[in-house]
Amino acid sequence: MKSKEARIELLIMACSAGGMILLMDLLASLQKNVRFAVLVIVHRNDRYQSSLEQMAQQRCQLRVKSAEEKEILQAGTVYFAPAGYHLLIENDHSVSLDVSEPVHYCRPSIDVSMQSAAEVYKESLLAILLSGANRDGAEGIHAISRYGGITVVQDPNDAEVDIMPRAAIATGAVSVILSDEQLEAYCTNLQGEN
């Protein structure tokens, strides 16, 4: 699998309930010289002020920001999907923000972003799905696998809320299941395309 990871251009990290601490640890473990962009999809309510980007920037060696409409994803930058919008990826690797109906009661939806990215990035996409309390992400993981990307899921036994990782595993489309400790080591070793 290492040869496949060498070709990644986009890493998606996604979580919901119970996944935030591990997400921050994984972002902190990324090396500053990675050659891929990072997209983070977190279920959060747009009615409340959120400081996720600032929290991540304090721990992460990469630049962290909220994704903006028509922005082209750049290697070495972490983009958070803004609350209240589905985030889609266009063919030119730019961001499109969408306010259509919530999916699995969520906007941003993990499935929407993963399915959109899978069609664009194909085998150069890596997704890591963590703890969560619904099935969001399972269809996205399946789409990424179908397009040849790499799908990594947190071990449900380590997840604070195991519904999301178990739903993804049930699709049969998960490349590897890793413990929290293995996930940190995995992210530390990621570099991306030469």
* Secondary structure letter of residue 81 according to DSSP: P
CA distance 158 to 181: 10
Handedness of CA 61, 91, 111, 71 (dihedral sign): positive
CA distance 34 to 6: 10
Vertex 171: Cα angle to 109 and 130 (nearest 5): 50
- Bridge-based pairing of strands 176-178 and 10-15 is unpaired
Report which residue type is found at 179: S
Whether the upstream peptide bond of residue 156 has omega within 30° of 0, thus cis, is no
- Residue 162 is among the residues annotated as catalytic for this protein: no
CA 3 to chain centre: 20
- Residue 43 is among the residues annotated as catalytic for this protein: yes
Phi-psi region of 137 (alpha: psi -120 to 50; beta: other; left: phi over 0): left
Helix (H/G/I), strand (E/B), else coil: 136: coil
Catalytic residue among 136, 142, 145, 158: 136
- Residue 25 is among the residues annotated as catalytic for this protein: no
Active site residues: 16, 43, 136
